[in-house]
Amino acid sequence: MTEILFYHLHRRPIERALPQLLEKSVERGWRVVVQASSEERIDALDAHLWTYDDRSFLPHGTWRDAEASEQPILLTVNSENPNSATVRFLIDNAPVPDDAAGYERIVLMFDGEDEEALALARERWTDAKAKGLEATYWQSDEQGRWVKKA
């Protein structure tokens, strides 16, 4: 059964939160797709993931790459799954894919300071529950650790 995780970003931008979650995914051997709503965001994330931490490396590429199917982390604006990922991250209000049931996890990250993003996350929570998906809600504590709230 697909698990959908809602990550409420509060005083922590996606540029800090996403790489840490991607590192954990790679450590666990998971293949990942990160879907954003714009090519500009994908380009910015692509550059950021190469430089965000001098001590770390996240192997990744974009859907435009010839070797997209080989990437452990694939950045895209599309709903396809060319690298056979089992985990899909959705950022910037990217839509939940029609084939959500084909993933082990859908990770929906939303900006807690954005009223539109909050409203959309609430809608998606209700929809996930109605579809019988296992939904959990996470928020970071003062130390930056993720805490399960629901």
Spell out the domain ranges in the chain. 3-148
Please give the average per-residue pLDDT across 22-50, as a whole number: 96
Q: Which residues, 6+ apart, have CB-to-CB distance to 68 below 8 Å?
A: 61, 62, 74, 82, 83
When pLDDT is cut at 50, 70 and 90, the band that residue 10 belongs to is confident
Phi, psi at 86, each rounded to 5°: -105, -10
Top CATH class, 3-148: alpha beta
CB 97 within 8 A of CB 55: no
Q: What confidence score (pLDDT) does residue 54 get?
A: 85
Instruction: Count helices and strands (H / E) in the chain.
Output: 3, 8
Please give the average per-residue pLDDT across 122-136, as a whole number: 90
CB 80 within 8 A of CB 62: no
Please give the average per-residue pLDDT across 22-31, as a whole number: 96
Q: Which residues, 6+ apart, have CB-to-CB distance to 65 below 8 Å?
A: 71
Q: What confidence score (pLDDT) does residue 73 get?
A: 98
Residues 20/57/64/15 CA torsion (nearest 10 deg): 30
**Distance spanning both ends of the chain, measured CA to CA:** 18
Mean pLDDT, the chain, rounded, equals: 93
Which tens digit of pLDDT belongs to each residue from 69-124? 999 999 999 999 999 999 999 999 999 998 988 999 999 999 988 999 999 999 99
Please give the average per-residue pLDDT across 5-15, as a whole number: 91
Please give the average per-residue pLDDT across 28-57, as a whole number: 94
Q: What confidence score (pLDDT) does residue 15 get?
A: 92
Model pTM score:
0.94
CB 146 within 8 A of CB 20: no
